[in-house]
Amino acid sequence: MERLFGIETEYGITLENESNLDAVKQSIELIKSYRQEDFRPVWDYRGEDPFRDERGFRADALSNHPDEKEEAARDRERNKKNRLSFAEIKSDHILANGARLYNDHAHPEYSTPECKSLFELVAHDKAGERILQRCAETRSEHLGKRVLLYKNNTDLHGHSYGCHDNYLMARAVPFEKLKQGIMPFFITRQIFAGAGKLGIETEAGLATAGHYQLSQRSDFFHVEASVDTMHNRPIVNTRDEPHADPAKYRRLHGIAGDANMSEYATALKVGTTALVITLIEQDKIPESLILANPIDTIKTVSHDQTYRWIVMTADGKTMSAIDHQRQYLALAQKHLSGSEVTASLPETDWVLTEWEDTLNALERDPMTLVDRLDWVAKKWLLQTFAEEEDIPWNDAWLQSLDLEYHNINPDEGLYYGFPMRRLVTDEQIEAALHNPPSGTRAYFRGRAVDRFSAAIKAIQWDSITFTIKGRTHEVNLNALADAEIARRYNQTLDESPDVGTLIKKLRLS
């Protein structure tokens, strides 16, 4: 199949020189600033069930952060005072490019449209940054105070927020086989996919200042697999929301990754994961790759400042995380290079080449990847500054520079001062702001929103409900995971002058 994938990113939000921030309120108002005059709450939450577990049951409850009771009390008071409905709090926008923009409690979130090309996904991920930055500029003008947004994963006070990479895959793969194959890969993937962080953290706050590590998220994983995402986070999330035919597909909801500023790191992260999923579907991952003590290992790899990154397999052997990744790479080179299955990822050859080159460079000298990997670029920045200013690594000045690396304002964010390797042009990013990915169901969703938004009564990832002369007509998009069906639906949409014609043609097709 042509694999669909996407990224959901929660952004950190603050106000300049504001010490007592109501992040929930500011996140709501930021999202509302996106074309506020056109806002109608049409997102249909009936298709979402975060309690449904891929292992065949429905969880009774989800784990919450220890601060959640206090936060919930503040939410009740705020909502009572402002009389906000659930829809107003979420402020869901469905964009013409097929994406979703909404408030996820205290964080603005941008979910890219479904893509089947890596570079297309990179363009849409970067388009999300630009959309949110423009919202911040609009909100700042209205507020008279600057709104600052950060594409990172922690506030360094014990709260982590996510960047989730998602992949459509075959339902036929038993969950235990998926877990066995993907969890070790997630643990060692951080050597090239980590965004870097200054400090070791617990949910009580910063535990060890000045210790530079690979990943922003690794400190926050405490179980191997569960349906939770907010507390007691699992390395492998078991949420069962395929947003496609559940008899044929599941969606791997990956929560163990960082939010990347680097286009290269984003593409390598998603591309390698997509190939590993194909290997899992083909039952090519040996048990020898299973790691002992995964919860400890995801942290020790991230924390290791020697960059030896030693891991132990379940059968007692030790190796470097680089060699562990090389075993996944060798399997991909053997089974996927030049074969017909590469249709599932158009950029397979690029991924295999860059994967190998990156692992080799990490072994020789990680700092040679300063133009490609976030954790390397940030470390170079902090190390250079610390040496020039003669300050220790636990200096608060460095902590602020760490954060500013993730500032999405291109005129201020420190990432944008690096000559980072680009995979897409500014023109391609700008095009992704307004155009959905071709050949996907996101195209149908985005074009429907662009052309027929007034007739849309409800919408979600896998369906759109139109209203025509007082009657509702639901278009189910589950089947559009199939590329040929998506092509037919998209062509029908393009050829229909109005909603009535569209519905009629779809019923006849």
Q: What is the pLDDT of residues 436-487, one digit of tens each?
A: 999 999 999 999 999 999 999 999 999 999 999 999 999 999 999 999 999 9
The DSSP annotation for 239-273 comes to B---SS-TTTEEEEEEEEEPPPS-HHHHHHHHHHH
- Containing 197, the helix (H) or strand (E) segment is strand 197-202
CA distances from 279 to 169, 326, 333, 466 (A): 11, 14, 11, 40
* CA–CA separation, 263 and 405 (whole Å): 14
The C-alpha R_g of the chain, in whole angstroms, comes to: 22
Residue 30 near residue 147, CB atoms below 8 Å: yes
Enter the pTM of the model: 0.95
Q: Which residues of the chain have pLDDT under 70?
A: 1, 36-39, 65-84, 86, 339-343
* CA–CA separation, 312 and 316 (whole Å): 6
The whole-number pLDDT of residue 468 equals 95
* CA–CA separation, 385 and 492 (whole Å): 57
User: Helix 263-281 crosses helix 175-193 at what angle (to 10 degrees)?
Assistant: 160
Topology annotation, domain 5-417 = Creatine Kinase; Chain A, domain 2 (3.30.590)
Residues with catalytic annotation?
Answer: 104
The whole-number pLDDT of residue 95 equals 95
Residue 410 near residue 394, CB atoms below 8 Å: no
Least Cα distance to 448 among 134, 120, 42, 89 occurs for 42
Both tokens of 181, joined, read 């194959």
User: CA quadruple 248, 59, 299, 213: dihedral positive or negative?
Assistant: positive
Q: Collapsing DSSP states into helix, strand and coil, what is residue 126?
A: helix
Give 92-120 pLDDT, tens digit per residue. 999 999 999 999 989 999 999 999 999 99
DSSP structure class, residue 455:
G
The whole-number pLDDT of residue 508 equals 83
The whole-number pLDDT of residue 277 equals 97
The whole-number pLDDT of residue 71 equals 62
The whole-number pLDDT of residue 144 equals 94
Q: What are the residue ranges spanned by the domains of the chain?
A: 5-417, 438-508
Residues in the chain: 509
- Containing 350, the helix (H) or strand (E) segment is helix 348-364
The whole-number pLDDT of residue 353 equals 97
User: CA quadruple 487, 488, 489, 492: dihedral positive or negative?
Assistant: positive
Q: Give first-to-last CA distance, the chain, whole Å.
A: 22
